[in-house]
Amino acid sequence: MTDTLLRGRFLTFHREPTGAEDASAHTYVEDGAILMRQGRIVATGDYADVAATAGDAAVIDHRPHLMMAGFIDTHIHFPQVQIVASWGSQLLDWLNGYTFPAEAEFGNAQHARAMAGQFCTLLTDHGTTTAVAFCSVHKASADALFSEAADRNMRIIAGKTMMDRNAPDAVLDTSQSGYDDSKELIAAWHGKGRASYAITPRFAITSSPEQLQMANALVGEHPECYVQTHLSENHDEIAFTAELYPDARDYLDVYETYGLLGKRTLLGHAIHLKQREVEAIAQTGAHPVFCPTSNLFLGSGLFDDAGLRAHGISSGIATDIGGGTSYSMLQTLNEGYKVLQLQNQSLHALRAFYWITRGNADVLSMADRIGTLDPGTEADIVVLDPRATPAMALRMGRAETLAEELFALQIMGDDRAIVQTYVAGAPQKGATLHP
C-alpha cells in the first residue's frame, strides 16, 4: 500500500494548556507534514524533513488549511438521528414523546443498518472520527453500528442500551436479556478491530435494581469495557430517581451501590450534583460528560466545569445527539463557551481544541491511540478551513494569532469548515462507501 503524505499547517497537543499563552502544551507547524502508512501516522514535522524520508508517498497538499487530530465525541445517541430538532419539551417528556418511539424502530435490523450508514457519514462530515454511542435496547442496533464502523475502519465505543422499566414495551428488555445480549455483543465486537464495548444502563429511572446488578456482573466479568449512563441532567429526573431508590443517599449513590463507577465510567450531563457526589466522582475517577447544546435545548441546566476541575475531575465534552442540536464538535465548543460564560467561567481556544482531541482521548484512556498526531497513533485526522464561509473569511482578515484563528473556528465553524476527514488514513468526505 502506498504511503500518503499530507501537507499543510498542523496542530497537536501534548497536554492540557494551562492558559491561552501556554505554547509548550502543543506543537504548531506552519509548513508541516503528516506521513501515513497502513492506517497509522508514521512521522510528523516540517514538510521538508518528512518529505525527505517519505520516498514515493502520494502527496496531498492541504495548504493553507489546518490539520489536527480527528474530533472525539464522548456521548451521542445513534438511534436519535431522526429526532434532532424535535420541538420543545424537557427531558422526561422528550424521551416519551420523541426518543422512545424513534428507538422502537431500531429493532428492525435493516432500518438500523441504513441509519448506521447515515450516522457515521454525518460524524465524519463534521470532523468526528471517534464516537461513544448509545444504541437502542435492541441487539440489532448495536450490531448495525459496530458493523458499519468496522466497514470504515472507524473507532467506535458503543453498547446496547439496558432498560427494563418505565418505558414502552417496544424499548424494554429484561434484566436477564439485557445481560445476555450485552454479553454476546461483547464477545462479538469488543477489541475486534477498532471497536470497544460500553456497558450501557440508560439511567436509574429505566433500570431496576435487578438490572443494575446484572450490569455490575458485566463490569466484573469485563473490566476492560467502558460503562456509560446518565446522571443528574434534570430536576424532575433526580426527584423520580429518589422515589425509585429511596435508600440511596443521592442519584450517584445508585450507580455507586452497584459498582458502576470507575475510571472507564462516563456520566452524561452531571449538572445538578451534590457535594458528596462531586467528591465520590473524584475518588472513583469517573468522568462527567458536558453536553452543552443538549443542556440548553432541553433547558436542563448549566454544567459546572470549573467546580469539577477544582476537585481534579476530568470531564468529557460531547454533542448528545439527538437532545443535542448539532453533530459538530465545533458548535459544541461554541455553546460550551456560552454555558461557561454564564457562570463566569472561561473556555479559551487552545483548551477547547485540546478538549475535543487529546482531552477526550485522555478521558477514554486512549491518548496512545487517538487524539494526537503523534507517530504510532491511528491516522484519524481532520483538515479545517477557518475561512470556510464569507463571514469566517471576513473575521479571519483581522486574526493575527493561532488562538484567534482557533477561536473563530470554535464560535463560527461547523461542517462547512471541515475540508476533509481521514479515518485510519482513508479520506471520508466525498467517499463512496456503499456502492
Per-residue model confidence as pLDDT tens digits over 187-217:
999 999 999 999 999 999 999 999 999 999 9
Average pLDDT over residues 373-396: 98
Is pLDDT larger for residue 92 or for residue 367? Answer: 367
Per-residue model confidence as pLDDT tens digits over 284-296:
999 999 999 999 9
67's grid cell: 490539520
Nearest-Å Rg of the Cα atoms of the chain is: 21
CATH of domain 71-347: 3.20.20.140
Task: Quote the pLDDT of residue 362.
Answer: 98
The listed range with the strongest mean pLDDT (17-31, 95-109, 342-356) is 342-356
SS3 20: coil
Tell me: pLDDT of 23 over 70: yes
The mean pLDDT value of the chain amounts to: 96
Number of H helices, E strands in the chain: 17, 16
| Cα–Cα dist 389/133, whole Å | 30
Q: Which residue matches cell numbers 476530568?
A: 314
Selection from 286, 298, 289, 166 nearest residue 235 by Cα: 298
Average pLDDT over residues 29-51: 98
Residue span(s) of the chain under CATH 2.30.40.10 come to: 4-69+372-427
Residue span(s) of the chain under CATH 3.20.20.140 come to: 71-347
247's grid cell: 435508600
pLDDT band at 21 (very low <50, low <70, confident <90, very high): confident
Q: Which CATH class is domain 4-69+372-427?
A: mainly beta
pLDDT band at 435 (very low <50, low <70, confident <90, very high): very low
SS3 169: helix
Per-residue model confidence as pLDDT tens digits over 66-99:
999 999 999 999 999 998 988 877 777 878 888 8
Q: Which residue matches cell numbers 466484573?
A: 220
Backbone angles phi, psi at 321, to 5 degrees: -50, 135
Contact present, 9 and 67 (Cβ < 8 Å): yes
Contact present, 100 and 171 (Cβ < 8 Å): yes
Average pLDDT over residues 108-117: 97
Tell me: pLDDT of 433 over 70: no
Contact present, 163 and 137 (Cβ < 8 Å): yes
CA 148 to chain CA centroid, Å, is 17
Q: Which helix (H) or strand (E) holds 411?
A: helix 402-412
CA 202 to chain CA centroid, Å, is 16
pLDDT band at 1 (very low <50, low <70, confident <90, very high): low
CA 180 to chain CA centroid, Å, is 26
Tell me: pLDDT of 434 over 70: no
| Cα–Cα dist 359/86, whole Å | 30
Contact present, 344 and 304 (Cβ < 8 Å): no
Task: Quote the pLDDT of residue 429.
Answer: 93
Average pLDDT over residues 23-41: 97
